[in-house]
Structure 1
Amino acid sequence: MRRRTILATVGALALAACSDPSAETADPATDVTWPDPTAKLDGVKLTIWAAQNSNKVPAKVVAGFTRATGAGVEVVTIPDPYEQGIQTKVATGDKPDLAFWQPTASMLTAINAKTHLQPLTDAPWLPQTAPELRDITGLLNGTRYAALVTSPAVEGVYYNKEHVTAVPKTFGEMVDLARSLKARGVTPFYEMAADRWATQWWVQIQLADAAKGGFWEKVNTGKAKFTDPVVVDAIKKYKALIDEGLFNTDIKTAKFEDQGAALLDGKAAMVVQVNSFFGQLQAKADTATLDRKIGFFPIAPSGNVGTFIPDQSNALVAFRTGDAKREAAARQLLAYWLGPGYKDFVTDRNTVSLQTGVPNPPGVPKALLDVHAALPTSVGSMQALAVANPDLYINLADMITGTMSPDQVAKATQDQFEQLARAAGAPGF
């Protein structure tokens, strides 16, 4: 798993909003029926759209489902940028039966969920889902549209245990540790500005306390802005730490793959990242090695608080295709995935179980368990709580390469947020 959350563009939002005259009147319906997960579906063919980092995720489930039901299931890889590609296709009438999709309210709005997606009302797997995760994401205006299949991503700090022997308790303590590491000749932090997408995590973890205090809700109503001191100061702090030399010297050209190798090899002490980063580490080392070398801690200005950011590899949505048989079969596949097929799924993926009755596989690395354990006390990210998600990461990467100042980053982000909010029909914009 290695991709970022691709942010919606103004054009895609506008296209999605105007492409279907029923956009404001479609009834999500509440009388959804759920077929038996293993009922026969001979002759039915389903399509799942997936990104390059999620196209292997359904393999075990699809194999089990086809054996049990006789249905045909094709997983189609949509090229990056994934979310924009899907929005464009859907807006022009091209729909799959199911797709991986970021289950946040802003991205459900971006795809016009009320019109294009099936409601997953009273889904049969919900009673088995861990209570603290049941409603953490996947809902829009009270209606459930997304099925969470893996643990939502958390922004936090992955660290090499050789260099970090005591977990910092606050953001300030982490910076103090970084300075002591630099004094010993160790690169404290590793960033991948060439790939850009992870730069935003550094600002968002600094906004965790503000998020807990309702900052994103205020942004959604125009009572707060990206140009407010709390955001500008976070951007300036990030730049100051870079200017201080606490990051890798090749920050401008470093990429995602470089980041994982640097942490695992001990060339850097810490990386601020999300769950997909750990997938890269799992591809490079076995569980025993990861448990020995790599740890994780959530961080915020006030303490060890994480920032959760569900991404497209965490959840699926089922589309309204107009074919009642296929729509029912799509719901059946979800019921199988999170029902009879779930234990095999988490074992195959070597990932954390979201269900109280399904234990974690024995090979799940300790750091991944720590990420999951941070969820109940985490706060929502911009992607999870804002009504629209501007290109903060692009602007921050431009700041790192020297083409934007922190104030320009904040203003460009706010300007785009307002455009996106208006296109999405957010009140007050």
Structure 2
Amino acid sequence: MRRIGVLTASVAGLLTLTTAACSSGSGGGDGAGTADDPTELTFYMDKGGWNDSFEAQNEVSRAEGMVLDVVQTPGSDAAAYDSFVRQSFQTNERPDLFTWSTGEKLADLVEQGVVAETTDIWAEAEAEGLVPDGLIDNYTYDGKQYCVPLNVAYWPVYYNKHVFEEHGLEVPATFDELMDAATVLRDAGVTPFHQMNVFFEFVWFQNILAGTDPEAYAGLGTGETSFTDPVVVDAAQQWLDMMHDGYFLDPGVTTEPEALLASGDVAMASFGSFLTGELASIDSVPGEDFGVFPFPNVDPSLPNGQLVLETGPLCVARGAAHEEAALEYSRWWMDDEAQTQWSESRGDPSYNPDVPVADPEMAAVVEAVGSGDLQVQQRFQEMVPWDVYNRSKEVFGEFVSDAPDDPMDGLEALQSVADEYWSQQG
């Protein structure tokens, strides 16, 4: 079975979603209902703070005979949510719809036969141009598709436009220009780069390695690359050297990244496109207060730029009470109308190419992906085996917190976990 990485998310609670789905046929049984006689679909999700976005879908789906009723059930965390969903498959209370993670965790459910196949939905979506090239790879196992994309997030570099203007800086197009700008900012007393030691610890490692050797980076997700290969060691060392030279935020700072960027306490932050919505929530305006640019290649000879993408799935439980209606909802979820509303309510770009991107700078990044100027890479968190990712949180968290002189001990620890994982694969 094809294995691809895993997405984790902060969990504010377990949510139950009730939705009425309809089609041209009459309601009843396992099929979709009508607006007057809705089919209720239970939906478990682990996305804290997304209630309003699902409620906003009501304004669009109601005209199609679909109504969402989101009910908060507090007291869940990531581990509890994972356990809750897995245990539900052993009962008659399995959800009709649920959020999960692409990669190894989804592969595990596919192997157990508890996730409904969505191959026909993907075929229709690709034929209608509703998804970009390559996105299907994140949902493909043994040549079949499972789940549909709940969302995607591109990972460019965000920058404070006022800080750049104050210091006479242009948007960097090369890695040398990026570091020149960072040096100007550091020497002027401005922290150039944001990073954290509790979430997304891997971001700068992935950016530097993917921008140095994209094949070596991707090989960490297949076992073809070792964490102790020279190119990987060099990338990790370059990252540590940047810490030693004072280019990064003090790891003890716990202020939210959007607040730090908006205030100019940091000039740049490599983050998923969901940060746009977080910045907007504190009245920071895209194109005026902040902008985005792709992380420049470390190796300028590479033919394409590299852009990391993450995606999280919306899944249908196989054998759920309303499996067919949930699949119909999944089909609707990918169309223009549903995705336009979702993008507007979330503030994120949609994966659907027909949906306009409000931020012109982010739109340019998305357009560069579509034109092939930027090569999409899986986010490290989704790409590597789950056990490797878990160990990397400790290793890279220590890198950020302590900035050791030599990365080899940490990289050897990661390779030890990777060796154990790959030795068990057929």
Q: TM-score, normalised by structure 2?
A: 0.77
Measured against aligned partners, the alpha-carbon deviations of 1:201-259 in whole angstroms (never above 9, x if no partner) come to: 100011114663254336624x42112222222222222111111123xx2222361x2
Alignment of 1:13-412 (within 5 A): 36=24, 40-41=33-34, 42=37, 44-50=39-45, 51-62=47-58, 64-65=60-61, 68-69=64-65, 73-74=69-70, 81-82=77-78, 84-94=79-89, 95-103=94-102, 105-112=103-110, 115-123=113-121, 124-126=124-126, 127-132=128-133, 134-150=135-151, 152-164=152-164, 165-193=169-197, 196-209=198-211, 212-213=214-215, 215-217=217-219, 220-221=222-223, 223-248=224-249, 251-255=250-254, 257=256, 259-285=257-283, 289-299=285-295, 300-303=297-300, 305-312=305-312, 315-323=313-321, 326-339=322-335, 340-356=337-353, 358-360=354-356, 364-376=358-370, 377=374, 378-388=376-386, 389-391=388-390, 392-402=392-402, 406-412=407-413
Measured against aligned partners, the alpha-carbon deviations of 1:95-122 in whole angstroms (never above 9, x if no partner) come to: 322122333x334224445612111112
* Distance in 2, Cα, partners of 1:403 & 1:297: 27
Quote how far apart the aligned CAs of 1:373 are.
3.3
* Distance in 1, Cα, partners of 2:100 & 2:368: 22
Q: Note closer, same or farther for the CA distance 1:419–1:155 as it changes in structure 2 (3 Å cut).
A: farther
State the SS of the aligned residue for 2:41.
Answer: strand
Is the CA contact 1:49–1:98 (under 8 Å) kept in the aligned structure 2?
yes
Q: Note closer, same or farther for the CA distance 1:218–1:276 as it changes in structure 2 (3 Å cut).
A: closer
Quote how far apart the aligned CAs of 1:133 are.
5.3
Quote how far apart the aligned CAs of 1:403 are.
8.7
Amino acid in structure 2 at the alignment position of 1:49: Y
Greater Cα offset, 64-73 or 200-209: 64-73
Is the CA contact 1:46–1:73 (under 8 Å) kept in the aligned structure 2?
no
Is the CA contact 1:61–1:337 (under 8 Å) kept in the aligned structure 2?
no
Is the CA contact 2:51–2:70 (under 8 Å) kept in the aligned structure 1?
no
State the SS of the aligned residue for 1:306.
Answer: strand
Query: How many pairs are equivalent?
Result: 378
Quote how far apart the aligned CAs of 1:182 are.
1.6
**Identity of aligned pairs, percent?**
21
Q: Note closer, same or farther for the CA distance 1:77–1:112 as it changes in structure 2 (3 Å cut).
A: farther
* Distance in 2, Cα, partners of 1:79 & 1:305: 42
Amino acid in structure 2 at the alignment position of 1:417: A
Q: Note closer, same or farther for the CA distance 1:75–1:413 as it changes in structure 2 (3 Å cut).
A: farther
Is the CA contact 1:203–1:238 (under 8 Å) kept in the aligned structure 2?
yes
1:426 corresponds to which residue? Answer: 425
State the SS of the aligned residue for 1:262.
Answer: helix
Amino acid in structure 2 at the alignment position of 1:402: D
Q: Note closer, same or farther for the CA distance 1:158–1:350 as it changes in structure 2 (3 Å cut).
A: closer
Q: Note closer, same or farther for the CA distance 1:310–1:239 as it changes in structure 2 (3 Å cut).
A: same
Is the CA contact 1:204–1:307 (under 8 Å) kept in the aligned structure 2?
no
Measured against aligned partners, the alpha-carbon deviations of 1:264-307 in whole angstroms (never above 9, x if no partner) come to: 11222111222233332121125xx3221211111231357233
Is the CA contact 1:55–1:77 (under 8 Å) kept in the aligned structure 2?
no
Q: Note closer, same or farther for the CA distance 1:347–1:91 as it changes in structure 2 (3 Å cut).
A: closer
Is the CA contact 2:276–2:286 (under 8 Å) kept in the aligned structure 1?
no
Is the CA contact 2:190–2:265 (under 8 Å) kept in the aligned structure 1?
yes
Q: Note closer, same or farther for the CA distance 1:117–1:93 as it changes in structure 2 (3 Å cut).
A: same
Let me know the Cα RMSD of the aligned residues. 3.3
Quote how far apart the aligned CAs of 1:178 are.
0.8
Is the CA contact 2:125–2:334 (under 8 Å) kept in the aligned structure 1?
yes
Q: Note closer, same or farther for the CA distance 1:318–1:255 as it changes in structure 2 (3 Å cut).
A: farther
Q: Note closer, same or farther for the CA distance 1:350–1:381 as it changes in structure 2 (3 Å cut).
A: closer
State the SS of the aligned residue for 1:169.
Answer: coil
Q: Note closer, same or farther for the CA distance 1:393–1:282 as it changes in structure 2 (3 Å cut).
A: farther
Amino acid in structure 1 at the alignment position of 2:48: Q
Measured against aligned partners, the alpha-carbon deviations of 1:130-184 in whole angstroms (never above 9, x if no partner) come to: 443552532222211131243x223331111233332222333312221122222
Is the CA contact 2:192–2:247 (under 8 Å) kept in the aligned structure 1?
yes
Structure 1 regions of 5+ residues with no counterpart?
Answer: 8-33
Q: Note closer, same or farther for the CA distance 1:343–1:173 as it changes in structure 2 (3 Å cut).
A: closer
1:417 corresponds to which residue? Answer: 418
